[in-house]
Amino acid sequence: MDTIEKVQTLGEAARYDLCGACGESHRVKDDMGRWIYPAALPDGKTVKLLKILLTNACDNNCLYCLNRKDRDFPRTSFKPEELAYLFDQLYRAEMVQGLFLSSAVHGSPDRTMEQMIATAEILRRKYLYRGYIHLKILPGASWGCVERATQVADRVSVNLEAPRQKWLRRLSPDKELDDLLAPLRWVKHLLEDGGERRVRRAGQTTQFVVGAAGEPDKEILQTTERLYRELKLARVYFSAFQPLEGTPLEDRPATPLLREHRLYQTDFLFRKYGFSPEELVFDEEGNLPLEADPKMVWALNHPHFFPVEVNRATKEELLQVPGIGPKSARRIIKGRRLGRLRTLEDLQRLGAVAKRAAPFITLGGKRPAFQLSLWDALSAKTPHKALATLALPPSELVYYG
Ligand code: SF4
């Protein structure tokens, strides 16, 4: 294969990894077949990332993956010098501003990682590239490789795929969860204690494949919260399983994107609102209800916290109200110093989604008029029925804040 064919093949193969991207809908494919994604960097800037695999030749047999060993299709690889040169050309032409480099595992995890790290080192030393590099850490990589990756990349990631070994076995029979967790622990140690090792400090991320193994949301979210708390991950990504033709899971139903969306909303509650898994409401199977967002479900199941008087509530109390996010809570606290908030329009002006907040608040001691029917439902202890009245079409789904 020539370089352009390799870019097409290995760029296409990298698109299932969400750890460095803002999402599938933003993907850009130019007429040469390069796959370039806008990605939010740790400092908040958005850049165009070249997202690519070093090789699609894999020794593993993950059941959902097109690159699995038992699938018969053309394999190809970049040499580090070749990929570094290609990236440098794209960078100089201002087509990309960062690199997300992942790979299948060929030969051994360390052998493949050596090549990935060599690519990044050539960029840093030969081409004097100072921009963003995200390196995937391969399952089974040694401490030495992980350490070198943290020295040359701004961000690293390890795909955990599943929250427990039981579920991981149904997706990736060759992998052990402990082998995937070990590098996350090492990276945490390196980031905390990396002064003399010259590690770069943009942190690490991971990704779960959601819905193919039968794992409940509750386990995914309990593991997510522990990853944030114990291993200080910068982000956890969720990828709704989509069956791919030619893989053993091709007949398995796709996971609804709404499930992925609910997981992201809950992740946001952990990171920005300080919610814990124990506070969440799950159905009998341990999954988040799809009918309404998790904060609304929590509010409907905790009526004793409401109504909240917007003119007196603490920031924490405001954040519990559906329709009020961190930004609008800050504005409300600032705005009410200038005068009492009296109407839903006052709230709306401060950035809250007043319609969502209305059933859960009072304004100057008075409940907004249309709140009563919902409150009746709550007092009848039928919050799940009340959910049906609040279900939003997908077009209205928004992240908090
Ligand atoms: S390790 Fe598994 S997921 Fe990764 S490329 Fe190989 S088969 Fe695919």
User: What is the count of structural domains for the chain?
Assistant: 2
Q: Is 156 helix (H, G, I), strand (E, B) or coil?
A: strand
Atom nearest to 138 CA in ligand 1: 1
| Angle ∠(27,32,38) on CA atoms, nearest 5 | 25
Is residue 288 in some structural domain? no
- 384 domain-assigned: yes
Q: What pLDDT is stored for residue 202 in this prediction?
A: 66
Ligand 1 centre distance from Cα of residue 159 (Å): 10
Ligand 1 mean position to 135 CA, how many Å? 15
From residue 330, alpha-carbon distances to 271, 327, 337, 368, 398 in Å are: 17, 5, 12, 21, 19
Q: Are 78 and 54 in contact (CB under 8 A)?
A: yes
Ligand 1 lined by 53 (C-beta under 6 Å) = no
Contact present, 84 and 123 (Cβ < 8 Å):
yes
Q: Is the CB of 62 under 6 A from ligand 1?
A: yes
pLDDT at 145: 95
**Whether residue 73 is found in the same domain as residue 200:** yes
Tens-binned pLDDT, residue by residue, of the chain (401 aa): 777 788 777 877 776 665 544 333 344 444 444 567 777 666 667 788 898 999 999 999 999 999 999 999 999 999 999 999 999 999 999 989 999 999 999 999 999 999 999 999 999 999 999 999 999 999 999 999 999 999 999 999 999 999 999 999 999 998 999 999 999 999 999 888 765 556 666 689 999 999 999 999 999 999 999 999 999 999 999 999 999 999 999 999 999 999 999 999 999 999 988 888 998 989 999 999 998 889 998 898 888 899 999 999 999 999 999 999 999 999 999 999 999 999 999 999 999 999 899 999 999 999 887 644 555 445 444 444 444 444 333 333 333 32
User: How many Cα atoms sit within 13 Å of 259 on the Cβ side?
Assistant: 24
Is 338 inside any structural domain? yes
Indicate whether 301 and 273 sit together in one domain.
Answer: no
Check whether residue 301 and residue 262 sit in a common domain: no
User: Is the Cβ atom of 105 under 6 angstroms away from ligand 1?
Assistant: yes
**Closest alpha carbon to 218 in 264, 273, 274, 281:** 281
Q: Are residues 306 and 252 in the same domain?
A: no
296 lines ligand 1 (CB under 6 A): no
CB of 67 closer than 6 A to ligand 1?
Answer: yes
| Probe target for ligand 1 pocket from 61, 64, 68, with the most ligand atoms within 8 Å of CB | 68
Phi first, then psi: give them for residue 156, nearest 5 degrees: -125, 160
pTM: predicted TM-score of the whole model, two decimal places: 0.82
Cβ atoms of 165 and 177 closer than 8 Å: yes
Q: Are residues 151 and 16 in the same domain?
A: yes
- Asked if the structure places residue 289 within a domain, the reply is no
Question: 391 and 265 share a domain?
Answer: no
- Bridge partners, 157 (sequence order): 136, 205
Note whether residue 284 is domain-resident. no
Considering only CA atoms, which of 96, 71, 73, 93 is closest in space to residue 10? 73
Clarify whether residues 122 and 199 are in a common domain.
yes
Atom of ligand 1 nearest to the CA of 65: 8
Contact call for residues 277 and 206 (beta carbons, < 8 A): no
Q: Torsion over CA of 137, 145, 79 and 239, rounded to 10 degrees? A: 0
Residue 36: per-residue pLDDT = 73
- 357: containing domain: 294-396
Question: Minimal CA–CA distance to 207: which of 245, 182, 173, 180?
Answer: 180
SS (H, E, C) 233-255: CCEEEEEECCCCCCCCCCCCCCC
- What does each C-alpha distance from 231 to 7, 85, 228, 276, 388 come to in angstroms? 34, 35, 6, 16, 38
Ligand 1 pocket check for 57: Cβ under 6 Å: no
Residue 346 within any structural domain of the chain: yes
Closest atom of ligand 1 relative to the 58 alpha carbon? 6
157 lines ligand 1 (CB under 6 A): no
Q: How far apart are CA 33 and CA 50, in angstroms?
A: 11
**Same domain flag for 18 and 111:** yes
CATH of the domain at 375: 1.10.150.320
| 271 and 367 co-located in one domain | no
Residue 287 lies in a domain: no
Q: Ligand 1 in contact with 9 (CB < 6 A)?
A: no
For the beta carbon of residue 129, count every other beta carbon within 10 angstroms.
19
Indicate which residue's Cα is closest to atom 5 of ligand 1: 104
Instruction: Report residue 360 as tokens.
Output: 């859960």
CA 62 to ligand 1 center in whole angstroms: 5
Q: By alpha-carbon position, which residue is closest to atom 4 of ligand 1?
A: 104
Q: Which atom of ligand 1 is nearest to the CA of 161?
A: 3
Nearest-CA neighbor of 58 among 213, 136, 174, 180?
Answer: 174
**Does 364 lie in the same domain as 240?**
no
Residues 271 and 300 in one domain: no
Looking at the fold, whether 254 and 350 belong to one and the same domain comes out as no
CA–chain centroid gap for 353, Å, is 24
Tokens at residue 393, please?
Answer: 């079409």
- Look at residues 253, 279, 305 and tell me which one is the last residue of a structural domain: 279
Assess contact for 194 and 201: CB atoms under 8 A.
yes
- Strand segments, DSSP code E, in 304-380 are 308-309, 361-362
The domain boundary, picked from 240, 256, 279, lies at 279
How many whole angstroms separate alpha carbon 228 and alpha carbon 275? Answer: 12
CATH number for position 26 = 3.20.20.70
In this structure, is residue 246 part of a structural domain? yes
Q: What's the residue count for the chain?
A: 401
- Listed residues 250, 279, 308: the one ending a domain: 279
> How far, in Å, CA of 241 to CA of 18, rounded?
12
Token look-up 């070093």 returns: 54
C-alpha 198: how far from chain center: 27
